[in-house]
Structure formats: C-alpha cells, structure tokens
Chains A and B, each alone.
Chain A
Amino acid sequence: MLNRFLGLVKKDIITGFRNYYFLMVIIVALLFVGIIQFVIPEDTSIKPSVYYYIDYEGEMKAYLQEMIGQSEEEHDKIYKANSREEIIDNMKKSTNSIGMVITAKQGKPSIEFILQGYENEQVKNALLLSMRDEINSVFNEEIEIDVVKLKQGLNVEKIPTNKNVLPLFVLTEPVMLGFILIAALIFMEKDEGTIKAYIVTPGRLPEYLASKITLMLILGIISVLISTILVVGFDADYVSLLIIVILGGIFASSLGLIVASFFKNLSQAMIWIIAITLVLSIPTVSYFFPSFAPWFFTILPTYPLMFAIREAIFQTGNSSIIYSTALYLLVVSIITYGISILTYRLHLARD
C-alpha cells in the first residue's frame, strides 16, 4: 500500500513539474517577497489622519499645544490647519480622518471633534473619554489601576507593517494554494480519463486523493520556506510553522477536492472557488482589527489559522494558540478528507 502511494506521489510530482506547478509556486512566492521588501512601506498605518485648528488664546493654550505636540510624536498623521473650513475640506478627501477645533467659550477652551458621521456612539464616547482622561490626568492626581497580564513576558514589540503582511501571504498562498490547484489537477485527470483508468486497478481512492494532497503540501512547504526565510530569515519557529501549514494545507486541498467533485470542468468550478476563497479570507479583517471578531469570522478555520501562523513567524511566547489551532485543524482536515473520499465515491459511481 505504501509503495502504491509513493508511486502515485511520484507520478503527481512529475505531472506537477511538467505543468509548471513548481515554477509557478516559486515565482508567486518571490513576487510576494519583492512586494513586502520593496513596495509596502515599513510604517504604513491605518490610524485616521487628524486635522486640528486652535483658535484659543487663554491660559491653557500652552498646555493644549504641548499635548498636541506629544501626540504628533507618537502618531505621524497629525496635521495643523488654518481654519475649520480647511479641516472639513481635507476630511472630505479622506474618509479615514477626523478633525479637532479648539475655540474659546466664556474664557474656557471648548473642544469640538469633527467626525465623518458613520462612527457609532461607542467610538464617539471613547474619543471624548480619552480627551477627558488626557486633560484630567494633568490637573488631578494620577489614579493607579490594577492591571493583570495573564501571559507575562509576551514579546509584543511592534512588527513592521510590511513584514506583518507575511502571515496573510502564508495563509493565502502556501496554505490555500491547494484549494484551487488541486481542482485544476483533478479536472486535467478527468479530461484525460486517468481517474477512470485508476479505479480499475487495485489502487484505492483514498490513496489517489492523498497523493494529490501530498503534492499540494510539498508545494506549500516550498512556498512557505522561500517566503518566510527571505522575509524574516531563520528567526521563525519553523517546526510549528510547517505543522500549521501542512494541516491547513490538508484542509484546503480536501476542500478543493470536495468543490471540484461537483463540477464538470474548471470554468464552472472557478467562480465557486473564487467565491469560497473570498469567504475564507474575510477573517483577515480581524488581523488588522483584533477587537473586531464577530462569530461568523471565528467559525471559519482561517481565523485561528492566521493568528497561529503569525505566532509561529513572530514568536511572542504565546504557544498555546499554535497547539490549539493544530489540534483544531487536525480534526477539521480529517473531516474534510473523509468527506472528499465520500463525494468521489458517489460521483465516480454516478459517472
């Protein structure tokens, strides 16, 4: 049985080689590394731009200016404007921006925040809260709050924006490449009648499908190694990374097999493959906004997967996420692999 399986894998590797699978995976990985290293700036931020205008000459002016000066040091998108109108003009050009106007009201400063209008009450409240806190902490005694960090010693230094995109690449390419490529491979063999020829041999269906998945895993490993080594060198936890990529790859490839089994050719399947890919990539929103995680994000396997990949690449010492994700993926990939065998049994029997 092992011999038969290895024979199949060898055949699939040769097929993959002839069809430029390997070349393609290497080119896409290199292209991406190039984009990370040379196109995406290191310090891009999704924080809103802030435009401010001070029309207040009272006793607190010096303090207010110092406060803005401090913010300017921490946040690179704070711009001074010369009037309220100028702020509004600038805000209309960029939907990710807010304005702040300080005027005098009965001798006291009055601060007006100008928002876009789509922000909800909670965002507005938080904005006012941080302003109140900022001002009150200067004129009142500082209050100490008891803060407990459950995982001491997590290494949470800031990852440069461009390198921070690498885990998303690992998710969409090394892990998910099997989803689309395996479908292409299956349709090619359907056209050539290889599957039909195979079922009359002593070879069994699970071996046939496992061999296809193995080729996808080899391609995934090549892709993840090229991209990760070229971007972060040897700093990543490669053992965990490979385990996650392999388990994720089994899930994605068997899902690809399941989808492909319902269609006659690649053109038909392609639209669904693209649509499912889009759905599976929705959780990437949470990657940029970690406090935004609605239930329909978290039920998708790609959600824990991308955080586990990030932990494996930029280790913070939070290894529990890698173990829990690996266990979860193991279960999910066994299920999808099992379903893929069932669907092929059914469809081959029908054809």
Chain B
Amino acid sequence: MIRRILNVFKRDMLNSFRDYLMLYMFIAPILLTIGFSFFIPSVQSASLQFAVDENLDREVIKEFEKYGKVEKYNSIEEIKDRVNDVDDVAGITKNNEGKFQVILEGNESHDTEVIPQMIIKDMMRENKLNIDLNVTDIGVKRSPVALIGAISIIQMAVLIGGVTIGFNIIEEKQSNTIKALNVTPMTKLEFIIGRSIVGIVLPIIHVYIVLWILGMLNVNKMMVLVMTIVSSLIGILIGFLIGVISNNQITGITNMKAVFIIVSLSIIGALLLPESKHFLLYWAPPYWSFIGFRDILLNNITWGQIGVYASWILGLTFIIFLLFRKKISRGLA
C-alpha cells in the first residue's frame, strides 16, 4: 500500500517537474516574499506627506520632517499639481501676507487635513502650556503590516499546494487518466494520500523560507510546524473539492474564486471585527489558521492554545470532508 501511495507521489512529482510546475509552485511564494520584504521598510517610514515650498525657512521644513515625508517644490503651481494627485498630500507655503497657508485638494483624510494646521499652530504659539507628555511602549517591534503580509503569504503558500492538486485532478479527469487508475489495484484512499503529500511537504518548506526571508524565525519553530501541517490539510481539502466538483478548468476557476473569497473574508474579518464578534468566523478553518499564525509570530501563544486552534481546524476540515465524502468518492470515479 505504501508503495502504491509513493508511486502516486512519484508520478505527480515527475509530471510536475516535466512541466516546470513544481518549480513555479516552489518559487512563486518565495518571489512574493522577497518583493514584500522590500516593501516593509517603506510601510514603517512615512505616515503623512507634505508638499512644502522650498523657500520656507529650513527650520520650518525640519519641523514638518518630524511628522511625515516632505517633498520640496519651488513654485506654488508645482505644489498645487502635487496636491491634486490621487494620493493624500498637504501643500505648505506662505500667502501674500506672509502667513502660513495649507493647500488641500478637498477630499483628504482627517489627519492630512488637520495635522499640518496643528504643526503650524505649534510653531506659532508663544506661551505653551507645560504638561508632561511622554511615550513608552510594550515592546512589539513587528508592525501589523509585516505580520499580516507574512501570514497572507503563508496562507497563499498553503493554498497553492491545494489548488495545484485540484487542477491536476481536473486535467486527469479530462484526459481520462483517473478512469485508467480506477481499474488498477489502487484504492481511492491511497490515491488521495499520494496526491496530498505534495500539499503538505511544500507548505512546510515554504513557511520556514518565508519566515527566514522576513527575519521572523525567532519564534517557536515546533509550533510553526504543527500549525503548518494542520493548515495544509485545509489547502488539500479545498484542492480535492475544487478537483472533484469542477468538470472543467473554467468551473475550477469559479470554484477557486468562491473559495478565495471565503478565505480572504475570514482573514479580513479577523482583522476588522472586534474580538467580541469573532465567534461569527468560528466556522471557517482559515480563520483558526490565521489567528494561530498571528499569535505564534507575536510569541503570544501557549501549546494549549495551539491544541485548541488545531482541534478546530482538524474538526472543521473533517466535518467538511464528511459532508463532501460521497462527492469526492464519486468525483474520483
């Protein structure tokens, strides 16, 4: 039996290598991670943008640099053109009376509209009230953008394995390979397990590479392993469902889209909904995978919690498998 399972795996690998498919599956998430790692520093830099008249005093320009990204322009027309661009930028110059002037387009967000005025007022005030103001932090050095980005890439790596399994199955259905396999001594379970190996092995390799590139490997690596293995079961199940439900690649794409909408919704929901409403997402296995990885990367999780999250994922995946068991069995016939 083991030999037959390994044969399915071997055949998949051979096919995939011949098509460069394995290479693509392997490098796509890594390329994305490298791209993303270039993008993180700029996320952490500027939060506001100012288009400042370069004829203003150096001191004034320096003051604005304390609060955001400063671009210098030497005429009011250039400042206006910049302010009229799609993104949010506040123009800063002096009017004919020599007083500071803030130039806005009219549709800026609250901060872009208000902060420049506060900066100017702060510079102009003579008798400032002396109140002791200070800033401390609780030591979370990882920005939410880096964190969410890393988890999204991990989720994608997990799903890519599944999606590839699904589209392989559709192709085999169309080329009647599955019918041929059905007359061999191989059972459906052996076929499923053989097919799934790649969907588990690949995400494991990916997750560690992704974390290494993003400099996030200072986490509990065993927890990462456990979470990756249980999460990859979601990917595999999705893959098989897409594979057996879809009669051709086009319905495959439709089903994949529907699945992606559900996966992204559970992640966006986990991000936007207050903790008290998270129960609305408990039914979605990707939700548990998301918060599992989130807490692992924040070093804010115990083995007990990993156990709870993993049980939810395993339980839900198993229930979904039971619901579609007949469909999967028929789809592979």
Contacts and interface: CB of A to CB of B under 8 A. Distances in A.
A134 B110 CA distance: 15
B256 to A, nearest CB: 8
A113 B265 contact: no
A293 B28 contact: no
B86 A321 contact: yes
A270 interface: yes
Nearest to A138: B129
Given A115-B135, A143-B125, A92 B103 contact: no
Contact of A130 (B47, B115, B171): B115
B89 interface: yes
A298 B100 contact: no
B24 to A, nearest CB: 5
A188 interface: yes
Q: Which DSSP category, helix, strand, loop or mixed, fits chain A's interface?
A: helix
B88 to A, nearest CB: 4
Interface string B99-138: 1111111111101101101111110110111111111111
Contact of B115 (A129, A270, A298): A129
Contacts of A291: 46-49, 68, 87-89, 109, 111-112
Interface stretch (B156-164, B177-185, B193-201): B156-164
B307 interface: no
B20 interface: yes
Interface stretch (A118-126, A209-217, A338-346): A118-126
Interface in A242-267: 264-267
Interface string B57-72: 0000000001110000
B327 interface: no
B133 A113 contact: yes
A129 B122 CA distance: 8
B19 A268 contact: yes
Contacts of A185: 250
A13 B179 CA distance: 32
A164 interface: no
B314 interface: no
Contacts of A117: 137-141
A284 to B, nearest CB: 11
A184 interface: yes
Nearest to A324: B86
A18 to B, nearest CB: 10
A148 B125 contact: no
A184 B102 contact: no
A282 B148 CA distance: 13
A113 B134 contact: yes
A124 B135 contact: yes
Given A46-B272, A116-B138, A146 B86 contact: no
Nearest to A277: B260
B129 A294 contact: no
A116 B140 contact: yes
Given A150-B105, A296-B39, A92 B138 contact: yes
Given A153-B106, A154-B105, 18 more contacts: A92-B300, A93-B275, A111-B131, A111-B133, A112-B134, A118-B141, A125-B67, A127-B135, A132-B128, A133-B118, A140-B129, A145-B102, A150-B84, A265-B171, A271-B28, A291-B88, A293-B49, A318-B106
Interface of B: 19-21, 24-25, 28, 31-32, 35, 39, 42-49, 66-68, 80, 83-84, 86-89, 95, 99-109, 111-112, 114-115, 117-122, 124-125, 127-145, 147, 156, 160, 163-164, 167-168, 171, 248-254, 257-258, 261, 265, 272-275, 298, 300
Interface of A: 19-21, 24, 27-28, 31-32, 35, 39, 41, 44, 46, 77, 88, 91-96, 105, 108-133, 135-137, 139-140, 143, 145-154, 156, 180-181, 184-185, 187-188, 264-268, 270-272, 274-275, 278-279, 282, 285-286, 290-294, 296, 298, 303-304, 307, 316, 318, 320-321
15 contacts: A108-B131, A110-B134, A114-B137, A116-B137, A117-B139, A118-B142, A130-B114, A143-B120, A147-B104, A150-B105, A180-B253, A184-B249, A290-B87, A291-B48, A294-B39
